[in-house]
């Protein structure tokens, strides 16, 4: 099960109370105060973890409570600190305050973390209240309460390459051929219900992550179908590989399908159409694929690749084009 948005309630641990204690020993009739401080409460922390790829692991765990701090004890013994509650999420998770709606942290990299509910501070024992005049204080501080907060966790898949296109354009099949991912594949539209990720290794020192973005339809930018849920995952990709089916089952025009997806990206976020784009005519084993690629290349004024994920034709060229585009993009970022 793939889950990319969850609302959770976080309650940090309360701080432990300080202790009102006095030293009791033989031959020490007036030992004075020796009450220890309370321990700090644990915090609730959201942390990006490498081996987590969905929010499904916390979908059924909506309440997160950290441990409260221990109370102080005599002989100046400080209470035990409460254990933190750590929520592991995939890299690319946005953490937002539900009440105010502001972004707390964008957990882009593995190891990034944010405290969403800070633990309460432990109270001071009566030792802190002793003075030259007030030598036997009975005052002590109770621990402060831990923070409470509701937050929204929203996952936007991070990938180097995003596969986009109409439903049944061959994105899942291509992902399975490029990597070891095993997405659901069938010969009907709307097969993919959620993004699939796969890692492509080239030689010993090169690799990149590919995301199969579920098929987009007209009106996706305004939320038609599952448009917003799908389009938000495109935002994180560095390069777009646009797959075009030469003979769509719904008898639509392949060129019109390309323009439609292009318009949906522009209407959702104008910066998306500025991303490096590799146009690929998929299912090149079908009649008319070569003619379509040539026509689109003339009309758009850019190369259009041909690919058959079934036979493997064109896969090496696509991989090399992706690597060259990544290198060119990295050079631009360097300046």
pLDDT in tens, 7-30: 999 999 999 999 999 988 877 777
Q: Indicate the number of domains in the chain.
A: 2
Is residue 238 a contact partner of residue 158, using CB atoms and an 8 Å limit?
Answer: no
**Hey, is 159 helix, strand or coil?**
coil
**Hey, is 296 helix, strand or coil?**
helix
Across residues 59-84, what is the average pLDDT?
95
**Residue 215 pLDDT:** 59
Is there a single domain that holds both residue 142 and residue 200?
Answer: no
Q: Is 195 flagged in the annotation as binding?
A: no
Instruction: State the Cα–Cα distance between residues 2 and 227, nearest whole angstrom.
Output: 16
Is there a single domain that holds both residue 131 and residue 187?
Answer: no
Q: Is 127 flagged in the annotation as binding?
A: no
Q: Is 60 flagged in the annotation as binding?
A: no
Q: Is 18 flagged in the annotation as binding?
A: no
Residue at which a domain ends, from 96, 120, 155: 155
Instruction: State the Cα–Cα distance between residues 88 and 107, nearest whole angstrom.
Output: 11
Of the listed ranges 143-157, 183-197, 198-212, the least confidently predicted one is: 183-197
**Residue 189 pLDDT:** 46
Give the rounded percent of residues in the chain with a pLDDT score beyond 70.
Answer: 88
Q: Is 171 flagged in the annotation as binding?
A: yes
Q: Given a cut of 70, is residue 220 above it in pLDDT?
A: no
**Residue 226 pLDDT:** 42
Across residues 233-240, what is the average pLDDT?
83
Is there a single domain that holds both residue 103 and residue 79?
Answer: yes
Q: Is 131 flagged in the annotation as binding?
A: no
Of the listed ranges 46-55, 69-78, 227-236, 247-256, the least confidently predicted one is: 227-236
Q: Is 43 flagged in the annotation as binding?
A: no
Helix (H) or strand (E) holding 281, with range, is strand 277-281
Look-up of token digits 């009739």 = 29
Q: Is 192 flagged in the annotation as binding?
A: yes
Is there a single domain that holds both residue 148 and residue 167?
Answer: no
Across residues 230-237, what is the average pLDDT?
75
Residues in Cβ contact with 197 at an 8 Å cutoff, skipping those fewer than 6 apart = 53, 157, 159, 181, 209, 210, 211, 212
The first and second tokens of residue 37, run together, are 């401080």
**Residue 262 pLDDT:** 85
**Listed residue (55, 62, 47, 52) closest to 11, CA to CA:** 62
Is there a single domain that holds both residue 317 and residue 184?
Answer: yes
Q: How confident is the model at residue 230 (pLDDT cuts 50, 70, 90)?
A: low
Q: Is 159 flagged in the annotation as binding?
A: no
Q: Is 222 flagged in the annotation as binding?
A: no
Q: What is the CATH number of the domain that holds 261?
A: 3.40.50.300
**Residue 269 pLDDT:** 83
Q: Is 255 flagged in the annotation as binding?
A: no
Is residue 279 a contact partner of residue 219, using CB atoms and an 8 Å limit?
Answer: no
Give the rounded percent of residues in the chain with a pLDDT score beyond 90.
Answer: 46
Q: Is 212 flagged in the annotation as binding?
A: yes
Q: Is 302 flagged in the annotation as binding?
A: no
Residue at which a domain ends, from 90, 122, 155: 155
Q: Is 51 flagged in the annotation as binding?
A: no
**Residue 222 pLDDT:** 43
Is there a single domain that holds both residue 131 and residue 145?
Answer: yes
Q: Is 179 flagged in the annotation as binding?
A: no
Q: Given a cut of 90, is residue 180 above it in pLDDT?
A: no
Whole-prediction pTM: 0.72
Is there a single domain that holds both residue 179 and residue 85?
Answer: no
Q: Given a cut of 70, is residue 223 above it in pLDDT?
A: no
Instruction: State the Cα–Cα distance between residues 143 and 15, nearest whole angstrom.
Output: 4
Q: Is 193 flagged in the annotation as binding?
A: yes
Residue 171, domain extent:
161-334
pLDDT tens by residue, 258-295: 888 888 888 888 888 888 999 999 988 888 889 999 99
Q: Is 191 flagged in the annotation as binding?
A: yes
**Residue 2 pLDDT:** 59
Q: Is 215 flagged in the annotation as binding?
A: yes
């Amino acid at each position: 099960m793939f889950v990319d948005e969850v609302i959770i309630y976080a309650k940090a641990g309360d701080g432990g109370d300080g202790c009102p204690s006095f030293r009791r020993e033989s031959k020490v009739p007036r030992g004075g105060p020796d009450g220890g401080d309370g321990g700090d409460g644990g915090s609730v922390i959201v942390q990006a973890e490498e081996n987590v790829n969905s929010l499904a692991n916390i979908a059924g765990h909506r309440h997160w409570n950290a441990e409260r701090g221990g109370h102080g004890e005599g002989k100046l013994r400080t209470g035990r600190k409460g254990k933190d509650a750590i929520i592991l999420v995939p890299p690319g998770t946005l953490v937002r305050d539900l009440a105010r709606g502001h972004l707390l942290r964008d957990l882009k990299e593995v190891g990034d973390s944010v405290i969403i509910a800070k633990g309460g501070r432990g109270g001071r024992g009566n030792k802190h209240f002793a003075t030259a005049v007030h030598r036997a204080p009975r005052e002590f501080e109770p621990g402060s309460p831990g923070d409470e907060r509701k937050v929204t966790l929203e996952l936007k898949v991070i990938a180097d390459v995003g596969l986009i296109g109409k439903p049944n354009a061959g994105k899942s099949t291509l992902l399975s051929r490029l990597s070891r991912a095993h997405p659901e594949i069938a010969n009907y539209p709307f097969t993919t219900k959620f993004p699939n990720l796969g890692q492509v290794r080239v030689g010993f020192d090169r690799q990149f992550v590919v995301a199969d973005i579920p098929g987009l339809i007209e009106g996706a930018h305004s939320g038609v179908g599952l448009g917003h849920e799908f389009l938000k995952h495109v935002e994180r990709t560095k390069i777009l590989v646009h797959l075009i089916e030469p003979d769509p089952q719904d008898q639509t025009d392949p060129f019109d399908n390309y323009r439609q997806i292009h318009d949906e990206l522009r209407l959702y976020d104008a910066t998306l159409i500025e991303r490096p784009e590799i146009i690929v005519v998929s299912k090149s084993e079908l009649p008319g694929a070569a003619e379509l690629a040539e026509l689109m290349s003339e009309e758009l004024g850019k190369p259009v690749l041909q690919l058959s994920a079934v036979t493997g034709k064109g896969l090496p060229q696509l991989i090399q084009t992706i690597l060259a585009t990544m290198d060119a993009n990295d050079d631009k970022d360097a300046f």
